Structure 1
Amino acid sequence: MAACLYDPETGVGGMNHFSLPGSSDEGTSARYGAHAMELLVTAIMKKGGDRNRLRAKVFGGGKVLDVASEHLNVGARNAEFVLKYLEAEGIPIVGQSLGGNRGRLVRFRPHTGQAMAKHLAGREQNQVAENETKFGRELNQRVETPPDDGITLF
């Protein structure tokens, strides 16, 4: 599930991605919608966005796993969660592409509020997942390995 939030007046916004609806027992994992949404809203407000002006565009919620039980249809549960969350928080949804049985590639331009979503074919989904996993590892390495600039901080 991807949620794009932005303040149209300041051009401040961002996008999150979460895998599971609701929250974890600890409430600190961004894999869960509740924490991912709060992190996004907070980050936008820290950059000058106003919570009362936020607008949302949401994407995903597809049944990308072949499961028989609707209870195990995590995509539909994610879509239901984000719609209820945004309604409860008073954040209007100005665009959405939810459901189906394929993943989506989403690009978002917070300064304009423009979002683009492309449905992926099966082989594209696998490639995007591999690229995102690789990118995540690279980000973790950047954070974990500070640059060696000859300066030691204490």
Structure 2
Amino acid sequence: MLTLADIGFDAPARLLAGHGLRLVAVADGEPIPGSYWGECEAGLIGSDVFARGDTPVHSLLHEACHLAVMPTARRARVHTDATDCQLEEDAACYLQVLWADALPGVGRDRVMADMDAWGYTFRLGSTRAWFERDAEDARAWLQARGLLPGGRESARGTG
């Protein structure tokens, strides 16, 4: 599992800042505020995403993408649990695959493998199969809200 210690905090912090979010580094061994899953998993409170060096990159991206896809008014009130509906969950998953391409040393192939290893479940059996063949609703949801970077072609390409 690729962690923030493997890639550093700088590039993820820049990525999140570009979307109006803030990455907050938590000291090793300290509890992560706003973590739904506990242990080393990323947490969220308002527009802040909390993570430690042992936080998996896919976890950081997933929680950040939850914040990115939710309406600003709801984001201001969010604490720990960001899910509003299944379509929003799928949109966050789709966006996290795209955002992985913006992080040096990560990319969509790695983040999809880590999502599968962590236990994300999709009806086609893998993150890649879902992303490439079954995520039309998530893609349309993101596109309708202006959250799909680069249009459909870059979203469907391989990285």
Flag the structure with larger Rg: 1
Q: Which has the higher helix share?
A: 2
Instruction: Report which structure shows greater RCO (CA 8 Å, sep ≥6).
Output: 1
TM-score (norm 1): 0.29
